[in-house]
Chain A
Amino acid sequence: MKLSREKRKRHTSMESDDGGQQVVPFQLQFDRPLPSQIKIAEWNPEKDLLAMVSEDSKVMLHRFNWQRLWTISPGKSVTSICWRPDGKALAVGLEEGTVLLHDVENGKLLRSLKFHTAAVVCLNWEEDLQSQKNGCDNNLSFEDRTPHFLPPAPRAPRMPGLVSGDAGFTDDGQDSFVEFSNSSHRRFNILCSGDRDGTLLFSIFGIFPIGKINIHLCKIPYMVEDRQTRCKLLNSSIAKVALSKDLCHLTVTCYGELVEDETELGDEQMVGHNMHGLHCLMLDTSIFQKRKNELHQVAQQASNIEELNEVVRASLSVMHKQWSDAMSTFHEKFNSLSNLIVGHGLDSSPQEEFLSLLGGARTSPPVHQFLVNSLGESPAAEIIAFRMGELRGLSRWRARYRGIGLDETLIDSAMEKAGMFLVQVDRFMRVLSSVVQLFSNFFSWLLKCIKLLMSEASDQPPIYNSELVIVFLKFLYDQDPVKQLLEASEADHCIEIDLETTQRIKELIQFGGFSDAKYLQRTLAKEFLQLELSFKEAVGMPFSTISKKIVCEDLLPLSPLTSALPSHVPISVSYYEDTSSIISSGESERNLLIDYISFQIPDESLDIGNCIVILRGLMNAPGSRSRGENSLEAILLCIPDGYYCVDLSLYKESQIVLLLNERRDASESSGDACLMILQATELAFSHISRSSRLNDWEVLQLKDSVVRLEMANEKARSIPHSVVSPLAVSASRGVACVFAAKKRAIVYILDEDEEEEASDAE
C-alpha cells in the first residue's frame, strides 16, 4: 500500500512535467499496451490490484505498477468476475454455469462450484456491513469448535498418474486451501450470481448455496389501476445484480417482457402495449440479515461437511484405483503361474517363472503407500461426524433455527449415517490391515519356497506363518474383499457377516446402537453414498426454506428496448449511506442506505437520445408508497453533443464516473474520449410519481426536464484515444482504468484529495 502510493507520486510528478499549463482533473497514472482486448475488469476492493478478462477469456491480475501477478485460462469462456469483499479471492463466472474461486496470491483454483446451467452473467459479493461496524451480537456468533479439537481437515488426495490441465492449479495448494476454508468463514458474506436464464443463486461464503430464485417464476406485485396484481417477466435475462450492504435488498436489472399473470383467468396477457425492455427488480432478501448468525453457523458447518465429503469421495476413489492397480499387477503375475501349471510348461525353468512371480511381491510398496493414504481418511470421517453433531445442536434450537429450515430429524438421520460410516471405516481398516498382512505373509512364504527350489543358501530365511498362507490361498487368492468394500459399482453387494456379529448388533440396539441393524452388510462405498444422500437432504431443507423467503417486492420498468437483447447497455447499481436523510429516532443505529441506479437509455427508445438516467430511492419505495410517500427520484442527463456514453460507473460518495467517446464518422478511426465525474447529490433530482397504469415507462415523466451536461462545466478529462468498455473504477482505491480501442490500458487517479495530501506531504 505504502509502496504503491510512492510509486503513484513518482508518476504524478512525471506527468505534471509534460502537462503543465492547467490543473487536469485526473492524474494519469500510466498508459500501457495490452496483448489483447479486455472485456471485463474489476479492481480489488482491498489492494491495488486489477483483475481483467481478455477477449480470449484469460484472467489476468496486475499490480498497480502494471506488473502481472498471474494469468489463468479457465478453458471456457469467462462471462463475469467479482472479488470477495476482503479481496482475497476472485470469483469467475463461466459461460457453462460454473463459478470458480481463485486465490488472489497465486491464482490457484480454490473451489469450482456448478450451481447454474446457463452462463453466469453477473456476480456480486457483499459482506455484512453491520457486523463489522458495531461488532455486537458477540454472544450469538458462536465460534466453531472444530479447530480446537481436531486437526485441520485433510485434503483430497490426487489420483496417481493422472495429469490433467486443471491439476496445475490445485498443485500443492494445501495451505491456501485450508486458509481459504478458515478465513472465509470469519465474516458473513453472500455471493449472488445470476445467469442468462434468469436464475439467481445466493451462496454464503461463495461456497454454500442457500437460496435460489428464478425471476421468470417470480411473482411481482404491481399496482394496475389501483388494483394489486401480479406480474411476471418473460424471457428475461439478468444484466446486473447488486446486493445492498446490509444484505436486505437485492437490485436486479434485467431485460425482459413484463406480463400480467392472471392465474384465475389462466392466460397471460400483455400488460402494456410493449413492455419489453430494461426493468429493475427489487428483491427482499432481509432474511439474510435477520437470520445472519444462524445462517453463518449452518453454512460454516455444512460447507465444511460438504468439503469433507468431497475429500472422502476422492480418497475412496483413489484408494480404489490404487488397490485395483496393485491387484491387477498381482494377478498378471500369478495368472502366468496357472498357465504354467495347466500347460506343464517344462520348457521354461521354474526358477525363472518363480522369479517373475516374485515381481508380484513388489506390489507391497504401493500397497503400503495406499494404506498410509487411506489413513488420511479417518480424521475426515471423524470431523464429518463432529461437525454433524454441532449442526444437530443447532437444529435443536427450534426457536431460532426452524426459521431457516434446519430440520432436527433430518440432521439426526444424517448424524446416524455419519456414525455408521465411522464404524465402517473402522471395519475397513481392519479388513485392509489383515489383507495386507496376509499378502506379505504369503510373499514371505513364496520367497522361502523359491529359495528352497533354487537351493540357495540363506542365512535368514523369511519367517512366515503357514496357517495364514492357507487362509490367504483360500480367501484371498481369487477373492478381493477390499475391492468389494470400495467399489461403488458393487455398492449393492451384500457383505456376509457372521452370525455372532449380527446378533451383537441387534443387541446393541437396546443399548442405543444404530437402529439399522443391517448396516454392516453394506459396503463402505454404499455407506458413504447414503451418508451423502441424507446430508444433502438435510441441507436441502434450509435451501428451499430460504429460497421461499426471498420475494420480489417491487419492479420498475426502466426503459423499452427495440432489439431483443442489446449488446451492451451501460448500467451501474450501487448503495450509498444516506447521510442527508434524517436519522429517525427509532432506527438511530442503523445506517440508512440509499440505492442508486444509473443507466444509459438505449438510443433508439423513447425518443430521448443520448441520455443517461440516475434513479435513487427505489429501495425504500414500497414501504413508503403505502404511506403515501414516495422517495423515488430520478434525473435525466443528456450527454454533451458530440459524445456518446461508452460506460458509466457509480463511484464512492454518490459520484458517477462517465466514460464518453467522441462521435466521429466511421472513416476517422480514432477520436478522443473523455472521463467525467459527476456528484449526484448536487444534481437536481425530481420525484417520480409511480403511475397507476402498467404500461408506462416512468422515466418518460422526466422528458421535459432533461439536464444537459456541458463539458466545460464538469470535472472532466479528455483521453487521447478512442475508448471501449469496460470502465473499471475502484471506490476504495480511487482509481479508474479505461481501455483504449487500440489495446491500451490507461489508469487515472480519480481521488484528488488523496493526491493533494500526498503532495502536501512532499
Chain B
Amino acid sequence: MDLEKLVYEKVTEEIEAKRRAGEKIPFHLHTPTTLIGLVEDFNISAKAKFKESSKAKEASPYAFCVDDSLKDMDGVFLRSNWQIQGFLAEQADAIEKRGSSFSLNAFELMLRQLEKLAPELHRVHFLRYLNSLYHDDYTAALENLHKYFDSSAGTEGLDVASPCVINNHGRFEVALLCQGMLHFHFGHPKQALEVLAEAVQVSQQHHNDSCLAYTLAAICNLLSEIGISSTSPLLRSSYSPIARMGTSFSVQQQLFVLLRGSLKRAESLKLKRLVASNHLTLAKFHLMHVQRPLLSFGPKALMKLKTCPINVCKELRLSSSLITEFGSENSVMTTDGAQSTAWLKNLQKPIGSSVFLEETISGNRPYASSFFAQPSSIPGSVLQHIGSLQLVRATAWEIYGSAPLARINTLAFANCFADHSSSADAALAYGKLIVYLATYKGYKAAFAALKIAEDRFLSVSKSQMLTVKLQLLHEHALHRGQLKVAQQVSNELGVMASPVTGVDMDLKTEASLRHARTLLAAKQFSKAAAVAHSLFCMCYKFNLHVHNASVLLLLAEIHKKSGNAVLGLPYALASLSFCQSLNLDLLKASATLTLAELWLCLGTNHAKRALALIHSALPMILGHGGLELRARACIAEAKCYLSDPSFSVSKDPEMVLDSLRQATEELQLLEYHELAAEAFYLMAITYDKLGRFEEREEAAASFRSHIKALGNPQDEVNHEPM
C-alpha cells in the first residue's frame, strides 16, 4: 500500500506547497455566504442521504460524524478554503484507511456538490479519483485523475501559483506518476511501467528532482512487488541507467542498483519519508534475495551466497528512524486542521478531549488531562509507515523462523498502529494473527478470531481476510480428511489471483501449492508431483526462491508418501540448501525432519542417523514450529527410538511415551486424524511391549476413533466452522 501513500503524499505535498505559498494572501477567495450555503447544503444532503440508508450510516460513521460536527459548528468553521482542504485531506485519509468500506455513493454525491459550488477546488477531483480507485472502478478513476490534472495543470485553477514549485510543466510528470500507480493498483504492471518510465523522462527534462525521486521509488516498489520473469525484457527499455548496465546483470541486480540509486536521490533531496520508504523496499529486497556482488573478481569461493538478515535488520532500523526525523524533512507537511478536526470528532463523545470548550465542561473529564489519551500529533503518514515497517519485520521473522518475534511484531502493530494504518495493512496483520492462532493454538481459536475479523474487514477489496479464511478452511479440511472440500477451497483460492502474468504471485503459488497438497492427500502422487514440478518451474522463472524451497520440500514429501524414499532424498537435500542460503531456519528444520523421515523409510539401520538429524532440528521445531510440525517431529523421534535395535523400550519407556504424548496432545488440537491415529498406534505398541495393557487399550481406542473419523469425514461436515 506504500504506493497509494506515495501518491497521496505527493499530492498533499503539492497542496501544502500551494498553501504555504498562498499564506500571505488571506482566504477571501470565496465569499462567505457561498460557503455557509455550502455547509448547509451539505447537511441537508447528508441528512437526506443517511435517512435513506441507515446501513450506510453505520458503515461510515466517521464521515457522518464530521458532517454532524459541521452542523454543530455551523457558521463557525469551514469558512476558509484551507479548512475545506483539511476536511478533504482527512477524507482522503479515511478512504485509504477504510478502503472499500467507505461509502462510495454518499461521498461521491458530496464531492459533486462541492465541485459545483467551488469549481476551483481541484482537490475534489482527486478525492473522487481516490474514491473510485478504492472501489475498483477503473474507468471512473482514470477519468477523475485526468480531470484533476487537466483542471489543475494550468495556472488558472490555483489559488496562487508559486513560481518555484509549479512551473508550466510541473503537473505533467506528477500526473504520469499518479497514472502509473493507478495502473499498478489495478494490476497492470506493463502499462504502469511504461507510464512511469515516461514520467522519469519528463521529470528529467523538467529537472523536477523530487518527482524523479518519487517516480524511481515507485518503479522500485513496482518491480519488487510484481514477479519479474527472468526472461522478460521488462526493465531494459524503462530507465536509461539500467539500460546502460546492459544485459550482464540479472533482473535482481538491476533492481538492486535501481533501489540504491533511488535511495541516494531521496537522501540528497532530504525527502525523509521517501528515504524511509526506500529503506523499507531495500529491506524487503534483502529479505528475499541473495545479494551477489555486482563486480566479482578473484576466486568465486569467497562469495557468500546467502541472504543477509543483518542487512534487513539494518534497513528496517534506518527506516524506523523516520519517527524521529520527520520534523526535519525538507518539505514539511504539517496537516493543519488535523488536530482540530480530531477535536471536532471528539466533541461528539462525552469523554473526548476538548481544548476550546475546556472551561465549560472540563469538570468531569478525566481523560482530557492525560497526554496519552490524546490523538498523536505525529503525521498519519509517518505512523502508517512505521506500522507497515512493523509488519515487514513480522514477515521477516516469519521467514527467518522466530515465531514469538513474528507474533510480537504483529501484535505491536495491531496495538499501536492499527488505527493509523490502511485497512489493507490492518487486515494483513489480523490475518497473520489468525494464521498464527491456527498453527500454534488450533483451529477452534482461529475460527473464532476469524469471525470477528471478517466482520471488520469484509469490505476490504482483494481481502486478505478471504485468503486467510480459505487457507484455514483448506488446512482444516486436509487435516480432517475432507478432500472434496479441500479441493474446492484450493480452487477458490486460485481464482482469486489476477490473470495477468507477474501479478499476485504469492497467491498463485499458494494456490497451486495447496492444489498439490490436496492431490497428495488424495494419494494421486504422479499428479501432485506434476503440479509441484510446474510450480517449481514457475517459481524458478520468476525468481521466487523462497517459494522454491517449500516446493522442493513438497516434492520430497510426495516421494516419501509414495514410498519412494530414495527419490525424495535429493529433493529434501536441495530444499535444505535453498533454506540455508536464504536463512529460512524454520523451513530448514522441517526439511531436516523430512530428510530424517526419508532415512527412516530406508530401513531401521538408518535410525541412528535419522535420530541425530531430528535432534539437530528439534530446538528449532519445538520453539518455532506449529503444532503439526511439532507433532510430526515427536512422532518421528519416537519412531526412531522404536526402530533402533540398540534402544530398549523397557529400559527407558518415557523417552518414547513422552514425545508421543506431546504429539497426541497437539494433534488433537488440530483434529489431524491421520497423524493422531499414527501416534496412538505407536503408543499402543509401546504400551504393549511394556505390558501396560490397560493403557494399551486406551490408546487403541483413541486410535480407532481417529481412524473412524478419518474414514467418514462427512459426519463432521455439519460441524463446519464457517
Contact = CB atoms under 8 A, between A and B. Distances in A.
A508 B456 CA distance: 13
Contacts of A368: 324
Given A150-B313, A470-B355, A398 B371 contact: no
A378 B448 CA distance: 33
A497 B366 CA distance: 11
A393 B633 CA distance: 13
B404 A496 contact: no
A498 B418 CA distance: 14
Contacts of B618: 397
A499 B351 contact: yes
A142 B619 contact: yes
Interface in B578-627: 583, 585, 612-613, 615-616, 618-624
B372 A481 contact: yes
Contacts of A463: 20, 332, 334
B437 A511 contact: yes
A513 B416 CA distance: 13
B336 A149 contact: no
Interface centre among B358, B373, B408 (most CB of A within 10 A): B408
Interface string B395-432: 00000101111011101101110110000000000100
B619 A430 contact: no
Nearest to B351: A499
A497 B372 contact: yes
Contacts of A56: none
Nearest to A476: B371
Given A399-B655, A465-B334, A511-B437, A427 B416 contact: yes
A468 interface: yes
B705 interface: no
Interface string A147-176: 011110000000000000000000000000
Contacts of A430: 323, 376, 378, 383, 386, 416
A323 interface: no
B659 A399 contact: yes
B106 interface: no
Interface in B307-339: 309-310, 313-314, 317, 320-321, 323-324, 326-327, 332, 334, 336-339
B340 interface: yes
Interface in B417-465: 418-419, 430, 433-434, 436-437, 440-441, 445, 448-449, 452-453
A498 B623 contact: no
B623 A396 contact: yes
A438 B377 CA distance: 8
Contacts of B249: none
B697 interface: no
A495 interface: yes
Contacts of A149: 309-310, 313, 400, 402, 583
B721 to A, nearest CB: 15
Contacts, number: 202
A419 B433 CA distance: 14
Contact of A390 (B409, B612, B619): B619
Contacts of B630: 396
A48 to B, nearest CB: 36
Given A393-B624, A398-B662, A415-B404, A375 B615 contact: no
B370 A433 contact: no
Contact of B377 (A415, A419, A427, A437): A437
Contacts of A418: 404, 408
B623 A390 contact: yes
A511 B372 contact: no
B371 A479 contact: yes
B583 A512 contact: no
A136 to B, nearest CB: 11
B452 A139 contact: no
A399 B633 CA distance: 13
A389 interface: yes
Please report whether the interface of chain A is mostly helix, strand, loop or mixed according to DSSP: helix
B336 A495 contact: no
A193 B276 CA distance: 51
B448 to A, nearest CB: 6
Interface string A367-392: 01001100100110010011011101
Interface size band for B: 35 or more
Given A382-B405, A399-B659, A475 B418 contact: no
B254 to A, nearest CB: 27
A514 B339 contact: no
B367 interface: yes
Interface string A500-517: 110011011011111000
Interface string B615-649: 11011111110000010000000000000000000
Contacts of A475: 370-371, 374
A389 B412 contact: no
Given A390-B619, A419-B404, A471 B370 contact: no
B74 interface: no
Interface string A343-355: 0000000000000
A69 interface: no
Interface in A126-149: 139-140, 142, 145, 148-149
Nearest to A415: B404
A467 to B, nearest CB: 4
B415 A151 contact: no
A496 B367 contact: yes
Contacts of B433: 508, 511-513
A422 interface: yes
Contacts of A297: 619
Interface in B557-579: none
Nearest to B352: A498
Contact of A511 (B369, B405, B416, B449): B449
Contacts of B358: 474
A511 B453 contact: yes
A573 B448 CA distance: 66
Given A142-B616, A423-B412, A431 B372 contact: yes
B658 interface: yes
A468 B598 CA distance: 65
Contacts of A371: 324
B452 A510 contact: yes
A386 B405 contact: yes
A426 B416 CA distance: 8
A605 interface: no
A302 interface: no
A520 interface: yes
A253 to B, nearest CB: 38
A497 B378 CA distance: 18
A429 interface: yes
Contact of B449 (A142, A426, A510): A510
Interface centre among A388, A463, A510, A520 (most CB of B within 10 A): A510
Interface string A457-488: 00000010111101100111001010000000
Contacts of A465: 334, 336
B453 to A, nearest CB: 7
B121 to A, nearest CB: 22
Given A139-B615, A390-B619, A512-B449, A433 B324 contact: yes
A368 B313 CA distance: 23
Contacts of A393: 619-624
Q: Which 6 A-B pairs have the closest CB atoms?
A: A393-B623, A396-B622, A389-B404, A496-B370, A419-B408, A511-B433
Interface of A: 139-140, 142, 145, 148-151, 297, 368, 371-372, 375, 378-379, 382, 385-386, 388-390, 392-394, 396-399, 415, 418-419, 422-423, 426-427, 429-431, 433-438, 440, 463, 465-468, 470-471, 474-476, 479, 481, 495-501, 504-505, 507-508, 510-514, 520
6 contacts: A151-B310, A375-B317, A430-B386, A437-B326, A512-B436, A512-B445
Given A382-B405, A394-B622, A467-B339, 16 more contacts: A393-B622, A393-B623, A419-B411, A423-B408, A426-B412, A429-B323, A430-B386, A431-B372, A433-B323, A434-B377, A436-B324, A437-B327, A468-B334, A481-B371, A497-B373, A520-B415
